[in-house]
Structure formats: C-alpha cells, structure tokens
Structure 1
Amino acid sequence: MKSPLYWSLSHRLSAVFALLLLISCGASFWVQVVASERHEQEVTQRLSNGLASHIAGNAALMKSDGLNPDAVKVLFDQLMAVNPSVEVYLLDRAGAIVGQASPIGHLKHDSVDLAPIRQFLAGAALPILGDDPRGVSNTRKVFSAARMTANGRDSGYVYVVLSGENRDAIAATATANNVLRTMLWSMALVVLLGLMAGLAAFRLITRPLRELTGVVQQFERDGMASLEQAAPALERLAAQDSGEIGTLSQAFRQMTQRISEQWRELTAQDQQRRELFANISHDLRTPLTSLHGYLETLLMKVETLELEERRRYLEIALSQSRQVGRLAQELFELARLEYGDVKPDKERFALADLLQDVFQKFELATEARQQRLVAQIAPGLPVVTADLGLIERVLTNLLDNAIRHTPDGGEIVVTLGQGHNGVDVEISDTGPGIAKELQQVLFTRPVFSSSWGGRPSGGLGLMIVRRILQLHGSDIALVPRDGKGAVFAFGLR
C-alpha cells in the first residue's frame, strides 16, 4: 500500500473528507445520545410527577409520635415490587434519610441535597436532577418529591428516585450492546459512503487540475515544442473554471506565452549572433587577404618594383590594416555595450554645442568631396542630460555613415528641434537611401554589403548607436522621407 505522501490529490481529499464525516458522525451521535437521555429524563419525571404526593397522602405512614416503620417498609416493598425502577426515601426537614427500604450495604449517603427538591416543588422547568443515595458521589437522577405533614406541621419530604440502580444495571447492559453495534455500523457506513462520495466528487473537482498537470508534464517532457499545442487547452481550462484552478491555468498560459516569446527572441538573437560571426569573418577575411597579398607581392618583387609602385602597394596595405583595426575596435565596443560594461556618466549640456564640435571633425572630409554639412537648430532648446562622450560617438557614427554614402556634391542636414521634454534629433542625407531588404535588420545585425547606396556599409556602427541610445532610455528609427536618402531620428531628454 502506498504511503499517504504518494497519494493523489483526489485520494488525499477523499481521506480527509471521510475523516471529517467520521468526526461529524461521532459528534452528532454524542449530541443525539445526550438529547435522547435528557428527553427520557423529562418524560419520566413528568409521568411520575405526582407519585411522591400520592405516597405522602398515605396516613398509615405516620403515627402520633412519628413514622410508622412497619407501614413504611410494607409500602416501600410494594412500590418497588410493582415498579423496580423506583427507590423511595423519607427525609426529615434537613434532608437526612429517616426511612428507606434499601438492601443492606446499598445505601451510600445518609442525606439528600434539598435545593433540587425545593426547585421541583416550586414548579421549575423539568428535568430537575437530584442526589442518588445509592449512587457514587455526584451521581444525580430525576426524582419526584412531596412534603409530608404530621399533626398539621411539616415533618419532612417523600423523595422518590425514578431511575434506581436496578433500572441502571439493566439499561447499561442493553445500551452498551446497542450503542456498540450502532457505532460500528454507523462508522462503517460513513467510511464507505465518504470514500465513494469523496472519490467521485473530488475526481470530478480535480479534473481540471489533472489536465493542467498533464500539460505541465508534457511541457517538461517535450520542451518548447509543446507550448503552442498546450495553449488551447489552457485557454479552455481558464474559461471553464473561475476559481483557483482557472486562475492557475491563466497564469500558466501567460507564463507559457512569455516563455515562448522569450524563446523566439533567444532563437532570433542566436541567429543574429551566427550571422554576426559569419559577416565579421567575411569582412575580416577580405581586407586581411588583400593585406597579405600586397605584402607578399612586395616581398617577392622587392628588387624589381619601382618606387611609385612600391608606395602604392604600401598605401593599399595600410588602408586595409586601418579597416581591420576599425572593425576590431567596433567589435570590442559593441561587446562592452552588450554585456553592460559601459555605464553612462550623465551630465547636463547643450546638444547644439556638441554638434558644432562634431561638425569640425568632418570639415576636411566634406570639403574634399564638396559636400555640405548643414545644422538646423531651433531656438530655445533645453539642455539634455546624457553621457557627453557616448552621445558624441552617436553623432560621429551617424555623420560618418551619411558622408560615406552621400555622393560628391551632396548635402547632410542635422536638425535639432523641440521635443517632448527634450530635444529631437534628425540626420538626413541626399544619398540613394537604404535598400528595403536591409531596413528591417539595420539596427539588429551588422550589414557588411554594398547594398547601402552601392558602397560598403557601416558594419557595426548602427548597432553601437542603438545600444548607446538604449542606455539613455531612447531609441533610433529610420524615417521615410520623400526627396531624402537615409533619415535617422532619435530623441534625448
């Protein structure tokens, strides 16, 4: 037999239910026994209410000088022969027993408390219990009582115990057997009915919980593949049950949705990282191959190359080396941003002043290509609270991309406008724009291709920009704008 620790919930509930039924049955049985006994006492006392008065009216009991012992004995013997359940006593005015017909050795008390007798004579509510002279200490039983008079004066009381020791002995034997049988049958019936009702009722009640347990076990067994299959069952359980099980089903359904969404995000991030490694490997291989090729050519033809040819090879190799260094630096910076190593050191500053400083870094590059840098700054802009160095990096990356992808003679415009509790920034160029297939992934994965305006793209630059802005509670967006190439917008507070 299984230990209760390994019982199912419905079995545990059924066992508890059966135990409670047994306790309730026992309490009910006890209450019924007490009530039945009290009812029997009241009926007996009412039926024999005038018995003591009838005895007290017998004049033969008294003589002129007191009790008539012979008459008392004859009368008591006759009464107890007719009704063996009664016991008759004569009491003096103080409650002491002055006449009785008990067998020798059966009388255990020589007096009776008069308080219950006075209540009886005063007509108090029945049943009223009085002392039992033949019983052990504190034994109390129903009785009948009446005053006795002699020569016109109260001489004591007639005291009749209505449930004598003979009746108690017979009733005890009969009651013990009957009560034992009744208790055994009652307990067996209650246990049987309780278990049957509990198993049926609790199995029905716990059916939604078993279904929910099955869904959880399936999730544990099959993993993420079972989440979508479990959604309809969880929705049905939540709709059918408005109680705790329905609430639990709803909570588990929401949890599975979050887990599913997080799993999809993790899968997408894993795919992005795979693409990142592949693209970085490709982008590193190209300049490294070129660098290796030109250096190998220089080594092989060091004696035959002209000075100008040698210089050209060295300049190309140096350019490829710079490209590899720039990519390595961007990769290192992105890794620090992704893993939380960079914490913004925020301060208050005017974004317009920072923009002018950044413009100065690109003056020579734009003049060489006859491009125009234009700053459109709205008056009365508030100061922003941000990391000056990180925001400078954002503007530098965006302007560098705009300059490289804008044809000679083009225009790059930076607009600073009044935003919601801050400054809105927009950077636009007159280049060919960004291909549609790249717009969805522009900020989530590196773009190492010539699809951006026919030139090599900015690689990790836009990913770095977005991560920096996210650290400042902002984000960047590619805004469609007629007559413009690529338009990037973000806000700072």
Structure 2
Amino acid sequence: MKLTLTQRLSLVFAVLLLVCGGTSAWLQVRSSQMHELEVVQGLSRDLARHIAHDTVLMDSNGLMPGAVRELFSQLMLVNPSVEVYLLDTEGRIVGNAAPEGRMRRDNVDLAPIRQLLNGQPLPILGDDPRSVDGRKVFSAAPLQVNGKAAGYLYVVLLSEEHDRYAERGATSAALNTALLSIAVVALLCLIAGLTAFNLITRPLRRLTDTVSRFDIDGAPPPLPATSTPVDKSTDADEIAILDATFRHMQNRLGEQWRSLTRQDQERRELVANISHDLRTPLASLHGYLETLSLKDATLSPEDRRRYLGIALDQSRKVGGLAQSLLELVRLEHGFVQPVLERFSLIDLVQDIFQKFELSAEARQVELKAGFVPNLPTVWADLGLIERVLTNLVDNALRHTPQGGEIELDLKFQGSGVDVTVSDTGPGIAPELREGLFLRPFNIGGSRRDGGLGLRIVHRILQLHGRQIQLVDVTGRGATFHFSLPVDQQTAEQWLAQSMNRNHADK
C-alpha cells in the first residue's frame, strides 16, 4: 500500500517524536540517578574519615581482624545501605564483612579513591567488590600506622540491599508520574503535529487535485478576470509559490492553446482560400489551352493570340499567388531574418514609383510622394522594406478608381521616420478590419483582394520589431502607417525584442 505525502510525513514525525520522547525519558532518569548519586556521595563523603579517626583498625602488627569484623557488622546493621572494606596500599581487599562467596573482586582501583581525596567534582564512581564490572559511589579515607600509610578504608554507599530495594520500587508512583507526563506530552505533540501537517499540506492536496483535473489535450478553462504574477520575493511559502506558478503556467498554456487554435483556424481559411484562388485561374487556363488544342485548325490568328494572352495572364496570376505564398511561409517559419543596413527612404520611394509608373498611367492614377528635404537615412533591411512598400502601393493601385491618387508621405518624428501610404479608393469597411493583417482572404464571406500581401507586410515589419496600422484620414481611402528607426542601436533593440517575442510564441 502506497502512503500519501501527508501520511509519510506524519509517520516520520511520529517516529521522531517517539525517539525524542524515549531519549528525553532516558535523559531524565539518568539525570535523576546522577543527582541522587551526587547527593548520597556528598552527604557521606567524610564517613570513612570519621570511622578511621574514631576506630582503631590496625596496630603495629597490622590488621586487627576482630575489631574490623565487629565494626563492619555494626555499621552495616545500623545502615544497611553501606558496605565497608579495608584495602592495603595496592588496593587489595584485606578486610570485609561480606558473606561467604559474595565477593567478586580481590582488589579495587585506587584512581577513583585518589580523585575523591583530591576533591574532584562529584559523583565519582568506584569499583564494587561484590560485582564483576559494577561501579558505585563510595567514601574513602587513608589509614596510617606509626605515621606511615597502611591502606584505605573503603565504604560503598549503596549496598546490594539498596539495589534490591530500588528494583522492587522501580514502578513507584514518582516514576509512573514522570513516564505518564512524558507520554501525555508526546501524545499532545503528535496531535498538534498531525494537525499542522494536515493544514500545511492542504494547499498541496488542492494543487494536486487541480493538476489531476487538468487536461492537456482538451480546451483549458477560461482565464480569471485578473492574473496575479508570481513574486518570489514575498514571504509566501514554497507551496503557495508552487500553486501560483502552476496557475500562471495554466494561464500561459490556455493563452497558447487559444493562440494555436486561432492560428489553426486561420491556416484552414488560408488553405481554403488559396485553393479557391488557384482553382479559378487554373480552370480558365485549362479551358483556353483546351480550346486551343481542340480548335487550333479553325481559329483565326487573332483569336489564337487572344486565347494565348488570356492563358498567359491566368498563368501569371497562379505564379504570383504561388510566389506570395512561398514568401509568406518563409517569413512565418523563420527562414528570413532582417539584415540591417543604412539606406535612404527617398531613393527607395523613387525606385518603387518608377516600377509602378506605367501601371498608374494605364489606370490614370497619380502617384505622389511627400517628404521634407534632408530626411535622415534609416536602419532596416532594404530588400524587405522594398517588398513592404511594393505590396502597399500595388494594393492601393488595384483599389484606387480612375482619376484617383496614391500618396506616400515620409516624415521624421523623434527617433524614427514615419511612413504613410494612402489612396483615394473606397477604403476598408469596418466589419472587414478585424484581423485585417492576419486573415488574408475573407472575413464573414466577404471577398477581399490583396489580403495575402498585407499579411506579408505585417510579418516583415514584425521581424523588424515594428507594427503596421490602418488609420482613418478624412478624405482618404485606406491609409497605412508604420515607422522605421534612424539609428543602429534602436534598430538592433527592436530586432532583438522581435526575436525574443518569436521565440516565446514558439
């Protein structure tokens, strides 16, 4: 069975609490024992010295066994918690009142005795003669005979009788109360910890539920009215930051999903309208070529030339549409990147007017250019900007009636040159302006020529970091406006920003 994060955290916390509670209980018991040993040894520290001072245990011939045994028996009878031993100068036990077979050691380590006699901090534990490896608090005093060291009086302050009584009282009320207190505190801490973990992980569980309901393949939920940005500099905890980050990511995915849906719809419209625009000239081209093939012997030279001329016109339309489509694909998929250089817009406008001079005369449309002297040069891609102006003038020429005019104005404004292309045609109806530069062929079933050229213009200026706008000018038809930078630094900044936006969109 797999445990949830909350359950794992609770289990780890319970184990740590158990370990800490057990360690605390052990330390408390150990501290209590050490305190008791210190108190007992402190109170009885001079017991051996008083006994040695008031009792004669040795004479010039050495140990007085009778006196020793009588004294030891009296002391242990009066105070059963003590055991008295007589040691020589090497620490060997030379006198005791222990029952037969109860002794486990023949000598006692003198190092703790010297520490006690030198006034070292208590408690000091010495060897227990009635245990193989036991150590207990003691009192000790040196013995002398005729002014010479003869050994030590060694008094164990907690005898075997004391140990047996302590074992019988191991479940005393005091100990039970201490253990019960520790258990109650541990239980309260466990309840508080589990409650805290539940509160802390609640946002994480809510986020998990949100993530589990998120369908990456389906339509994302609608965006909230306002979206709070993620700010990691605030005092919000990590889970709150994670929740805000996920919601921000969900919003971004929703925006991208909607953008991709819109682009897919536009792509479908593009394919459908391209198919429509290709079908008409191709059908006309095929019809006239088929007529020439079937009626070649009966056609007069004038009809043959007329049919060939119409077929060539339709072929040029198909070729132009295919070229525009290829150019748009290269622009939108990043195959074309602007190469910035300094050039004169005035010279470029003159070249473009020369290109359309014959077409304008045939349509009886006047081409006008307006600019101030000493107009500064601009930084941009010469070939791409030429394509922009060519598309705009060609579009205006096809929609300007006979006797109308097309005007191209250049005006220096701050850090750039404003370019405005206007005509005296009917303009663009308000219902057709939505998505003017994104939907190249029709909106709501209304046919619009030149839309693919406007989309190419829009994409080229996007690559330069600029935008084209359709503006309303009194007395004019369709009027398009954009600007180009006059210094290299500004142009490179716009270009860099445009590349960053393109990478973000992808």
Shift of residue 430, structure 1, vs aligned partner? 2.0
Aligned residue number for residue 201 of structure 2: 206
> 2:43, 2:179 → 1: CA distance?
34
How far did residue 212 of structure 1 move?
Answer: 1.5
Counterpart in the other structure of 2:67:
71
Distance 1:450 1:427, change over 3 A: farther
**2:391 partner amino acid:** N
In 1: Cα distance, 2:116 partner to 2:179 partner: 40
Q: State the TM-score, normalizing by the size of structure 2.
A: 0.81
Match of 1:321 in 2: 315
How far, CA to CA, are the matches of 1:135 and 1:379 in structure 2?
117
In structure 1, what is the Cα distance between the partners aligned to 2:100 and 2:343?
Answer: 118
Q: Does 1:228 align with 2:222?
A: yes
Equivalent position SS for 1:206: helix
Q: Distance in 2 between matches of 1:190 and 1:17?
A: 14
1:126 maps to which residue?
122
Residues 283-340 of structure 1: per-residue CA shift (max 9 Å, x gap)? 2222233333444455555555554444433333322222122111111111121222
The equivalent position to 2:454 in structure 1, one of 462, 477, 481, is 462
Give 1:207's aligned amino acid.
R
Distance in 2 separating the partners of 1:449 and 1:210:
47
Question: After superposition, where does 1:41-56 map in structure 2 within 5 Å?
Answer: 41-56=37-52
Contact 1:413–1:428 (8 Å) recurs in 2: yes
1:113 corresponding residue in structure 2: 110
2:5 alignment partner AA: L
**Identity, % of aligned pairs?**
59
Q: Does 1:32 align with 2:32?
A: no
Which secondary structure does the structure 2 equivalent of 1:376 belong to? strand
Which amino acid is the alignment partner of residue 78 of structure 1?
Q
Q: Distance in 2 between matches of 1:308 and 1:456?
A: 34
> Are the aligned partners of 1:371 and 1:410 in contact in 2 as well (CA < 8 Å)?
yes
Query: Number of aligned pairs?
Result: 479
Aligned-residue Cα RMSD (Å) equals 3.9
Task: Give ranges in structure 1 of 5+ residues lacking alignment.
Answer: none
Deviation at 1:41, TM superposition (A): 0.1
Q: CA deviation at 1:416?
A: 2.3
- 8 Å Cα contact 1:14/1:194 also seen in 2: no
Indicate if the aligned counterparts of 1:85 and 1:163 stay in contact, CA closer than 8 A. yes
Contact 2:281 2:314 in 1 (8 A): yes
Q: 157, 162, 167: which is aligned to 1:162?
A: 157
Counterpart of 2:391 in structure 1 is: 397
1:368 aligns with 2:362: yes
Supply the AA of the counterpart residue of 2:465.
G
* Higher mean C-alpha displacement, 410-419 vs 479-488: 410-419
Alpha-carbon distance in structure 2 between the residues aligned to 1:76 and 1:483? 133
* Residue of structure 1 aligned with 2:325, choices 322, 331, 343: 331
2:207 and 2:243 in contact (8 A); partners too: yes
TM superposition score normalised by structure 1 = 0.83
CA drift at 1:21: 0.6
Residue 384 and residue 136 in structure 1: after superposition, are their counterparts in 2 closer, same or farther (change >3 A)?
farther
Residue 481 (structure 1) shift: 1.7
Larger mean CA deviation between 149-158 and 467-476 belongs to 149-158
Q: Distance in 1 between matches of 2:430 and 2:408?
A: 23
What residue ranges of structure 2 are gaps of 5+ in the alignment? Answer: 486-506
| C-alpha contact 2:17 2:190 (8 A) present in aligned 1 | no
Residues 340, 379 of structure 2: 8 Å contact kept: yes
Equivalents in 2 of 1:111, 1:311: separation in Å? 136
Range 194-203 or range 244-253, more displaced? 194-203
